[in-house]
Amino acid sequence: MGAIAEVAAIVKRETGMAIKESQYPALEASLRRVDPELGAEGFLAELGGSAPRVSLLARLVDEVTVQETYFFRELRELEAIDWWLLLQAARESGAGSVRVWVAACATGEEAYSLAILASEALGRESTPVTILATDVSSGALARAAAGDGYSERSVRNLSPELRQRYLSRDGGRYAVRGQLKSLVRFRHHNLVSDPSPPLGEVPFDVVACRNVLIYFDQPTVQGVMRSLERAVRPDGHLILGAADRLTGTPDGLGPAGAPAPERRRHVRKRRLRRPLGLPPKPDEEAAPPVPPTAEAGPRRRSEDRIDEALAAADGGDLGQALAIVEALLAKDALMADAHFVRGLVELERGDARGAVTSLRRCLYVDPSFGLAAFELGRAQEALGDERAARRAYEQALRTLDPGDDRHQAILDQVDLGDVAAACAARLRGVDRAR
């Protein structure tokens, strides 16, 4: 193993970031920024010598970790948080405020964005929210805790009113005002090697870890996902980033660290009647098969395997369906379709608790997956948790979209309107049960 490969292995061990051979030039550039005279061999020698190991590693981590962020990034995902509902649940559990953890917070914009949204929803005076923001980079944490020096580009998504309300301006830079800053505390945490929730913390109402998993390999993604799930309360929310859904693409990160192109939704018709628990419509003419395209390859094979799992489930071979999706998830821990199908199979087998876990994972990856929210409601009902079922059905009604190819592809002979009607009927049933 060459010296630069050894450095890459150290970075992966310390941070979880998988650095490919094509990215070694960028890693060498990071080493030069740490010390222009160092180089890979010099770094390894210093690391094994008398120099402070923690300081040297920390400086390299600061250089290689991606800290590209800004206020209100991917706002739609954050706006889906129902702060009042979370506050009600927190108070029912004996807590006085909503507890939030922003993992891999970089320079703090995401944590402060959530603080703004909570303040706008719950009131700016004594906002009942506490936010823990963590990162593996000490340098990023220092800048985040200072809460200043934010550029015009960083605040570009904030309206003039919100800037005036929550930020102060000094020349071309912005700083977070004291009231907002008081809602957020910062500490060092390594998602790969440290426990979750962080030591001394109890599970949170909201955990946000966005656009971080794309830098990990699949075994690391699976371990971090399990760890993050332990950090979320049973009725809480785990929010992943849109880019994190790309972790299972064949090419992963390109040479410059850019995400691979997003998967296009496949629209082949599928039959899946029993697991949905809905009556089929009268038989219709089958849709013509989609001709092969240039997309054939690992992505297309994954889609074919999802089709196979659905066909197996529809034919009553639930064991085969489960084996297929388990194999897919071993390669791509964030494949929403595979988590969805696994949840359907588990629900059909009477394993409502397993179905809840699978369907929640599906929604962690893709909160807009309305069918998954509907099936989660069914699973929660089977467990007797009416409050959780109601939240799931409400989410389903908000996100079921007739224009979503994925829903049409999965349903085939069940109309989306029937799902919405069934969802509303189940909501009424939950209300009567209460």
pLDDT of residue 139: 87
At 125, which amino acid appears? E
pLDDT for residue 183 is more than 90: yes
Let me know whether 179 and 328 are in one domain. no
Let me know whether 111 and 181 are in one domain. yes
* Lowest mean pLDDT segment, chosen from 58-67, 210-219, 287-296, 338-347: 287-296
- Taking the C-alpha atoms of residue 16 and residue 135, their distance in angstroms, rounded to an integer, is 13
- Last-in-domain residue among 64, 86, 104: 64
Q: How many domains does the chain have?
A: 3
Mean pLDDT of the chain: 80
- Last-in-domain residue among 22, 40, 64: 64
pLDDT for residue 168 is more than 90: yes
pLDDT for residue 220 is more than 60: yes
Let me know whether 83 and 231 are in one domain. yes
pLDDT for residue 286 is more than 70: no
pLDDT of residue 411: 52
Residue 284 included in any domain: no
pLDDT for residue 257 is more than 50: no
pLDDT of residue 144: 95
What is the extent of the structural domain holding 190?
A: 75-246
CATH number of the structural domain spanning residue 427:
1.25.40.10
Let me know whether 239 and 204 are in one domain. yes
Let me know whether 55 and 137 are in one domain. no
Residue 402 included in any domain: yes
Let me know whether 389 and 308 are in one domain. yes
Residue 409 included in any domain: yes
Residue 380 included in any domain: yes
Let me know whether 161 and 200 are in one domain. yes
- Last-in-domain residue among 12, 32, 64: 64
CATH number of the structural domain spanning residue 117:
3.40.50.150
Let me know whether 83 and 51 are in one domain. no
Residue 267 included in any domain: no
Let me know whether 304 and 195 are in one domain. no
* Lowest mean pLDDT segment, chosen from 135-139, 147-151, 155-159, 296-300: 296-300
Residue 252 included in any domain: no
Residue 265 included in any domain: no
- Taking the C-alpha atoms of residue 81 and residue 347, their distance in angstroms, rounded to an integer, is 27
Residue 287 included in any domain: no
Higher pLDDT, 141 or 295: 141
pLDDT of residue 98: 97
* Beta pairing partners, 358: none
pLDDT for residue 402 is more than 70: no
Let me know whether 188 and 302 are in one domain. no
Distance of CA 187 to CAs 216, 300, 301, 318, Å? 22, 42, 42, 45
Let me know whether 233 and 135 are in one domain. yes
Higher pLDDT, 270 or 301: 301
List all residues 6 or more positions away from 231 whose beta carbon is below 8 Å from its beta carbon: 101, 196, 197, 201, 203, 204, 207
Higher pLDDT, 307 or 342: 342
pLDDT of residue 265: 33
Buried b (16+ CB within 10 A) or exposed e, 112-147: bbbbbbbbebbeeeebbbbbbbbbbbebbbebbbeb
At 428, which amino acid appears? R
Q: Are strands 173-176 and 98-102 parallel, antiparallel or unpaired?
A: unpaired
Let me know whether 354 and 235 are in one domain. no
